[in-house]
Structure formats: C-alpha cells, structure tokens
Chain A
Amino acid sequence: MSEEEAEKMLLELKEKAELMVDLAYSSLIYDNREIAEEVYELEDYVDKINDELQKLAIEDTRKGELDVNEVLAIIQLGISSEVIADAAREIADVQLRDVKLHPILKESLMESNEILLKVKITPKSILKDKKIGEIRLASETGMWIIAIKRGNKWIYDPTKNITLRENDILFAKGDKEGKDHFIALAEGREKKI
C-alpha cells in the first residue's frame, strides 16, 4: 500500500464517518427511519474499509515498506473514524427504536451551530437542472448537501456531477448563517447564488 492509498482510505473513512453523524442527526430531526437505516449500512461499509486498511498497513510493515510509527498513526486514525461511525450508529439507533422522540432532542439539534435542514427544489428555483459542482453551492452559501431524496430513491453524499432536479428534497448541512439564503435559493425566492 502506498502512502497515497493509505491517505485515500483514511480520507474515505473520515468523510463517511462524518457523513454518518450528519445523517444520524438528520434522522432524528426529521423523524426519518430511512436515513437512520442508511447510517447502519454505512457502518458496515466503514468497518470493512477499516479492516482492509489495517491489514494492508500491517502487511506493509512486515515487508518493511512502512515505518512502524507511521503505521501506528494510520491505524489509530482509522480507529478514530470507526469510533465516530459507531457513535453515529448509536444516534441513529434512537430513531429506530419504537419510542417517541423527546421534543427537546429535536430542538437541541436544530439550534446548534452546524445546522441541518431539509428543503424541496421548486419549479422556479435556479438550482433546478444545475450540477452541484457547477453552482459552487458549498463555497457560496456555506451549506453542503448530504443527501437527496428523488421520488423514492435516495442519493447519499452526492458528488459534484449530480444534477439537481425539480422536486428533489435536499438534506443539507452547514453554518447557521447560510441557512436562509440556501432555502430561498431552493424555493426559488432568491435568484442569485
């Protein structure tokens, strides 16, 4: 395993673990089982990548290709992401249990710094028929899309090449301050990104 490969795997673990946390919180805010179930599936995926990473790292040490300290750091970073992924699953578990959610839970999650929101793209919205990469949504509004619900289908962690469509329901995350602007864009009340 080259360093680049290790870095790629670690980055994948980090991003997926953080996506899971966002999705798990979203599942509570919007009382949504499907999102919570996706968190469970992602957990399996993270486990697999982490196992793979550890195996490769250890093999490379044996072959003398990687320094022991470096391998330790790689393994520790992988474990940290894995722990975060587990925590996300615990959060999603609250949604999947058959107990009514405490209203305070939702309120708290909605009032923290990094907020999560849900908005539908209207026919008038300028986001319609645009690629996520093309409109530079994240850098302009400070909000990024973590999932899209299109009809009955879900697109989690959409790439830059995904084209947004009318009636897409966007789940996004970001800074409190970008929220209103983002919603106005999706609902077609604001035309300038």
Chain B
Amino acid sequence: MYLNTNKDKKIGMKNKLLGKLMPKWKKVEFEEIEYEPKSIKEILIEMKNISELMVDLAYSALLFNNKELAEEVKYLEVRMDTLNYDIRLIALLAARTKEDAEELTGILQVAEAAETISNAAADITKLLSVRLTHPILPGLIKKSDETIKKLTIKEGSVAHNKTIKDLRIASETGVRVLTIRRKDRWIYAPKKDELLKAGDILIGIGPEEGLARLNKLFEGKIKVL
C-alpha cells in the first residue's frame, strides 16, 4: 500500500530555511497540513498499521538502545498526527444526517485510540536518553535470538531494482522486512515482488548474522546473499 505524505510544494521554501538545522522528522512537523482527498478507509488502515509498527519499533529501540529506530518512531508519530487530522476533516465533511454523524463518531474514536497508542510508543523511546546502569528488560521481546535493524540501500548495491523475492532475502538471511521507507512514504509489510531502490530505508527483523549479511549486500560489499 502506498500513501504519500504531504506532497505540497509550498513547504519547499520553509524546508530550505530550516535546512540542515533539524532532523528530517522535525521538518515534517513544520509542514502545513493540507487537505488531501483520501478515503477514510485508507487513512484508518494506515493509522492502525502505524500504531502497531510504532509499538514494535519503540520497544526494539529501547531494548537495543538504538537511536535510529527511535528517530523512525518520531517520524511515524508526525505522520500519525497528520492522518488523525485528515480523518477528522473527512469525517466532518461526510456527515449529512445525525445517523451519519453517530456512525462516524465510532470511526473517529478508533482513530483517536490509534493515535493514543502511537503517543505511548513515542514516550517509550524517550527513555533512551535516560542513563541506565545496564540494558533494561531484555525479556520484553519474546524472540530473543532476533534483532531489529535499520538498513539503507546504497548506490551501487545489486539490490537496486531487484525484488525481495529475487534477492531471496527471507530464505538466505531469515530476515523479515517490516517496512520500507522511500523518501516520504512508507510501504508496510512489503510484498515479495516489491521492487527495491537505492536510497530505500528498510527495517528488518531477524537473526543478527542475517541482518549483517543483508547490510553488506545493501552497502555493495557483497554481490550475492
């Protein structure tokens, strides 16, 4: 499923001004929210997906003391805010009768709950800045032999223009791709025939060894898994 974040052009200038001063997720926060016609269903699906992904990522970030994952959580939180705004707007526009309004209220309540869950996830990542004497709560992730990692496909990697299936990622490394971020959009639970591109940021979960191998492929250090 593809969904674009604000494709608005006005923000270009603003982003240039904000430029290198702040992380990317923060820049998104400064974008003006513009009404973008999308269906309630599409938005609600994405909100549910994001809230679940955020909880997984937040605990992983904490467990592996991984700042990159924490940053991804913040990024998703901003996306979530936009979606929650959009869904309210569309719901209000859609209600014509009292019955409509009553039914739509249920949808908004679920959307709000998804947003609440994502906020709770974001709060968990704040704990990364707390200095702890030792890693906290290793038991919080059930499969302890699995780890989670953010991987970037570099220019020149053989992975460019190949699908997940072509590369035999699952069978060769045991890694499952949770999500792909391509510029400003996310592909959740990508299909096996999803075409990978240089610059894609993947979040993979799997054995450490497999992730390391996959990273080498993405960095162009090896040509085959």
Contact = CB atoms under 8 A, between A and B. Distances in A.
B137 A112 contact: no
A21 B117 contact: yes
B46 to A, nearest CB: 8
B136 A105 contact: no
A102 B120 contact: no
A108 B87 CA distance: 13
Interface in B1-49: 40-41, 44-45, 48-49
Interface residues of chain A: helix, strand, loop or mixed (majority) = helix
Given A90-B113, A99-B106, A72 B137 contact: no
B124 interface: yes
B113 A76 contact: no
Interface string B109-148: 1101110110111011011001111001101100000000
Interface stretch (A81-89, A120-128, A148-156): A81-89
A94 B109 contact: yes
B133 A70 contact: yes
A104 B112 CA distance: 16
Interface residues of B, number: 39
A87 B102 contact: no
Given A102-B103, A113-B49, A107 B130 contact: no
A14 interface: yes
A104 B40 contact: yes
Contact of B130 (A72, A100, A102): A72
B110 A83 contact: no
B113 A18 contact: no
B166 to A, nearest CB: 18
A143 B65 CA distance: 28
Interface in B76-129: 102-107, 109-110, 112-114, 116-117, 119-121, 123-124, 126-127
Contacts of A97: 106
A176 B120 contact: no
B52 A107 contact: no
Contacts of B107: 102, 104-105
Contacts of A180: none
Contact of A114 (B41, B52, B114): B52
Contacts of B225: none
Contacts of B64: none
A10 B103 CA distance: 36
Given A7-B137, A88-B113, A99 B102 contact: yes
Contacts of A114: 49, 52
Interface of B: 40-41, 44-45, 48-49, 52, 55, 59, 102-107, 109-110, 112-114, 116-117, 119-121, 123-124, 126-127, 130-133, 136-137, 139-140, 188-189
22 contacts: A7-B137, A8-B139, A14-B140, A21-B117, A28-B110, A67-B133, A76-B124, A77-B124, A77-B127, A83-B116, A87-B113, A90-B109, A90-B113, A91-B109, A94-B106, A94-B110, A99-B102, A101-B103, A105-B44, A107-B41, A108-B45, A112-B49
